[in-house]
Structure 1
Amino acid sequence: MRGGLGLTAVVAALVVVALGVLYTDAGRPGSVDARILAAVEGVGPRARDVALATDFLGEPLGAAALVAAVVTGCLLLRRPRAAVLVVAGVGIAVVTTRLLKHLVGRTIHGDENLSYPSGHTAFLTALVLVVTLLATGRTGLGRTAGTALVLLVALVAGVAMGWAQVVLGAHYPTDALGGWFTALAVIPATAWAVDRVADSVRRKAG
């Protein structure tokens, strides 16, 4: 799947940059944002409860619990390289969104609330992407089917968290889209880097 996901990472990075340039220093929703915001406006209390629960997964406590659970699973399965990828991939995705927020300068609900891209969306997408990559690798699926499955699951995670962020008014829809693409750009690159470092260490040890 490296070839397909490598190309996906390049395209995703270009989309993140393009959206960042488009919304640099913006403080209001774009036309696409406005249409989506109008569609989700006035959701009921149950939907907001679901959104809050989903949002918690991207908060420090919820995110730490998710990462710890996945890392523990990797270690129990004796896959330390996978555990490193979880921590490094998710960490780099979150740090990247924070750096981009300051570079782009898009705000929501005031000048101090930087919004592009969504860190919550990037986090959950990145974590689910790594888990699905690891699971797909063990199933022996072919390149096309495996890549399609990975991207589909990542899309579901991104839509779920992005929806929650929009419903709660924490982000514009295009912020969530930027977060999703950030994860797609970061994880394949991080996986490649982790493989290169691990292979280099193994050769030196051998």
Structure 2
Amino acid sequence: MTGRAAPALLASPLRAAFGPVAALAALVVAVLGFRYAGESGPGEVEARVRAEFEGAGSPWRQLAVATDFLGEPAGAAALIAAAVTGCLLLRWFRAAVLTVAGTGLAVGATTLLKHLVGRTINGGYLSYPSGHTAFATALALAVTLPAAGRLGLGRTAGPLLVFAAALAGGAAMGWAQVALGAHYPTDALGGWCTALAVTPATALLIDRAAGRRAIRTDRAAPPGPR
């Protein structure tokens, strides 16, 4: 043997919890995308929500602008670099891969969906689902999924920690997008659900790829002394 394998990104309690969550999130993304395909305005409920959040005065607008920056290329790159650096210092190599791949695939999925759905805002900008919200949610998941597994949290505490982090990250960025008039509320919900569908699946794929590599390495290693 080559040594003990690295802990899985998606430990059993998390896999049991986030499998159904990911499936439900994907369904929500599809339903909302079908509902708002080709539209260029808010629904009735959305209009009320936007009226509550848009035009926020100081200091809320400054907070929204700062939060929005964290989803822009420069801010997102800084957050990813910090998270990857922390993972490497802790020797959480799978987590470092998930940070890059999970956020990248979540944002990539929103970009593809925007062109498929065709919902627009502010004179023609594609809006559904929100890439900023997907990024913030995916980053929260990429950080807390491996942390919950490493800490050995149980079937209740582990999923609750991860879900709470994803909810906090997605809600903060989603609020900023609505407050700044960059997205409709359902765009933010769609971005949040996109990350919930994509990031756990990415973690599972990384675990399986790492497991297959470990098996090949063990088979190729010379036998030890008898």
Cα distance in structure 1, aligned partners of 2:97 and 2:203: 9
For each residue in 1:24-51, what CA deviation from the matched residue of structure 2 results, as whole angstroms up to 9, or x when unmatched?
Answer: 0010001221121121243212111000
Cα distance in structure 1, aligned partners of 2:54 and 2:201: 37
For each residue in 1:130-167, what CA deviation from the matched residue of structure 2 results, as whole angstroms up to 9, or x when unmatched?
Answer: 11112211221101221112111111111100000011
1:58 to 68, 71, 83: 71
**Identity across aligned pairs (percent)?**
64
In the alignment, what sits opposite 1:68? 81
Q: Partner of 2:126: helix, strand, or coil?
A: coil
Q: How does 1:125-144 map to 2 (within 5 A)?
A: 125-144=137-156
In the alignment, what sits opposite 1:38? 51
Structure 1 residue ranges (4+ consecutive) displaced by more than 2 angstroms after TM superposition: none
In the alignment, what sits opposite 1:16? 29
In the alignment, what sits opposite 1:117? 129
From the CA coordinates, give the structure whose radius of gyration is larger: 2
Aligned partner of 1:138: which letter? R
Say yes or no: does 1:172 pair with 2:192.
no
* Count of residues in correspondence between the two structures: 205
Q: TM-score, normalised by structure 2?
A: 0.89
In the alignment, what sits opposite 1:182? 194
2:95 to 58, 61, 82: 82
Cα distance in structure 1, aligned partners of 2:170 and 2:161: 14
Q: TM-score, normalised by structure 1?
A: 0.97
Cα distance in structure 2, aligned partners of 1:171 and 1:58: 13
Structure 1, unaligned runs of 5 or more:
none
Say yes or no: does 1:105 pair with 2:118.
yes
2:213 to 195, 201, 204: 201
Please report how far the alpha carbon of residue 204 of structure 1 lies from its aligned counterpart in structure 2 after TM superposition: 0.7
Structure 2, unaligned runs of 5 or more:
1-13, 219-226
